[in-house]
C-alpha cells in the first residue's frame, strides 16, 4: 500500500464510521457533533439559499460564533448581498466573503465578454472553485446545506463523508431533509430569507445564470438555463471507501 493511499484511507475510514453512526441523526445532532469534533477547524459554507439560511440559524443556536463563509462571485443579486447584511445583524455574526483574484474586468479582458455564456465551467472555476480553496485552507471539515433530492450529483451525498475533491471532511446535516422541512424550519424560527424566493426563484445563484422558473418546473430549472450544466463544481459526487479500496486493489494488481 502506498503512503499516499494510506494517508487517504485513514481519515476516510474514520469518517465513514462517523457517517454510519450519524446517518439517522437530526441536523442539530450532526452540527453539534461537528462543532465538538472539529471545533475551530470546521467552517460553514452558505450560498444564502433557503437551506443555507436555515443552516446559519441552526448553527448559531448551537455555537454562537461559528465560522461561516460565502463565495462572492461579484455577480450575486442585490437581494443576496442585502440578505447577508440582515443575517449578520440578526445573529450578531460575521459571514466571511471569498472572492476570485480575477476581477470581472480582468476576466473580460483575458477571456472575452460574457464568460458565463461562452465557458460557464471556466467562469465557475475562477469565481467559485478557486475562492473555495482559500476558504477551506487550514480547515479539517466543512459544513454544507445540500440535500440529496436537489440534483443527481447530490443524490449520493451522506451526512458525513470524506470529500475527495477538497481533501477534508464534509458534513451535510440536511441531506435527508425535504424542501418542505427546510421551509417549515424557516417559518417556525422566523429566519430571514431571500425575497427572490417569493418571486419564482427557488434556487438562486449569480444574476447571469439564474432565471425564475415556471409553475411545475424543477427548482433548479432556472440555473444555467438551456445548458446541460447543473452544478458549479463545488460538490463532486461522493466516492465511497469501497471505491477507493477497489481502486487500490486495481493499482496493486497492475503493479504486480
Ligand atoms: S454561476 Fe454563472 S456567473 Fe456565476 S460563476 Fe458560474 S458561470 Fe460565472
Tens digits of residue pLDDT in 9-57: 556 788 888 889 999 999 999 999 999 999 999 999 999 999 999 999 9
Output the pTM of the full model.
0.88
Q: Is the pLDDT of residue 245 over 60?
A: no
Residue-averaged pLDDT of the chain: 90
209 is known as an active-site residue: no
User: Residues 51, 157: contact at Cβ < 8 Å?
Assistant: no
Q: How far is the C-alpha of 40 from the C-alpha of 46, rounded, in Å?
A: 17
Summarize pLDDT for 170-188 with one digit per residue, the tens.
999 999 999 999 999 999 9
* pLDDT at residue 254, rounded to an integer: 47
Overall average pLDDT of the 143-171 stretch: 92
Q: Is the pLDDT of residue 161 over 50?
A: yes
Domain 3-255 is found in CATH 3.30.1330.60: no
Higher pLDDT, 253 or 224: 224
Nearest atom within ligand 1 for CA of residue 120: 7
CA of 5 to the centre of ligand 1 (A): 34
56: cell is: 446559519
Grid cell 477507493 is found at 244
Selection from 66, 49, 98 nearest residue 210 by Cα: 49
Overall average pLDDT of the 96-102 stretch: 98
Nearest atom within ligand 1 for CA of residue 209: 2
Q: How far is the C-alpha of 140 from the C-alpha of 151, rounded, in Å?
A: 26
CA of 200 to the centre of ligand 1 (A): 20
Amino acid at each position: 500500500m502506498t503512503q499516499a493511499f494510506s494517508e487517504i484511507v485513514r481519515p476516510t475510514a474514520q469518517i465513514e464510521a462517523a457517517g454510519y453512526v450519524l446517518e439517522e441523526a437530526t441536523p442539530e445532532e450532526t452540527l453539534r457533533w461537528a462543532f465538538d469534533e472539529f471545533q475551530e477547524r470546521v467552517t460553514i459554507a452558505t450560498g444564502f439559499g433557503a437551506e443555507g439560511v436555515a443552516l446559519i440559524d441552526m448553527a448559531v443556536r448551537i455555537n454562537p460564533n461559528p465560522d461561516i463563509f460565502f463565495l462572492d462571485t461579484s455577480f450575486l443579486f442585490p437581494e443576496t448581498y442585502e440578505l447577508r447584511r440582515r443575517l449578520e445583524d440578526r445573529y450578531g455574526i460575521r459571514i466571511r466573503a471569498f472572492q476570485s483574484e480575477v476581477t470581472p474586468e480582468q476576466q473580460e479582458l483575458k477571456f472575452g465578454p460574457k464568460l458565463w455564456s461562452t465557458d460557464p465551467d471556466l467562469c465557475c472555476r475562477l469565481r467559485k472553485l478557486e475562492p473555495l480553496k482559500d476558504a477551506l485552507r487550514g480547515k479539517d471539515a466543512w459544513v454544507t446545506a445540500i440535500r440529496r433530492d436537489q440534483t443527481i450529483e447530490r443524490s449520493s451525498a451522506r451526512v458525513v463523508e470524506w470529500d475527495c475533491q477538497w481533501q477534508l471532511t464534509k458534513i451535510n446535516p440536511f441531506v435527508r431533509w425535504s424542501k418542505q422541512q427546510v421551509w417549515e424550519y424557516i417559518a417556525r424560527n422566523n429566519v430571514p430569507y431571500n425575497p427572490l424566493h417569493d418571486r419564482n426563484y427557488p434556487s438562486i445563484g449569480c444574476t447571469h445564470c439564474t432565471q425564475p422558473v415556471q409553475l411545475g418546473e424543477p427548482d433548479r430549472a432556472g440555473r444555467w438555463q438551456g445548458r446541460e450544466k447543473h452544478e458549479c463544481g463545488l460538490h463532486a459526487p461522493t466516492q465511497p471507501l469501497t471505491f477507493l479500496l477497489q481502486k487500490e486493489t486495481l493499482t496493486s494488481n497492475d503493479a504486480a
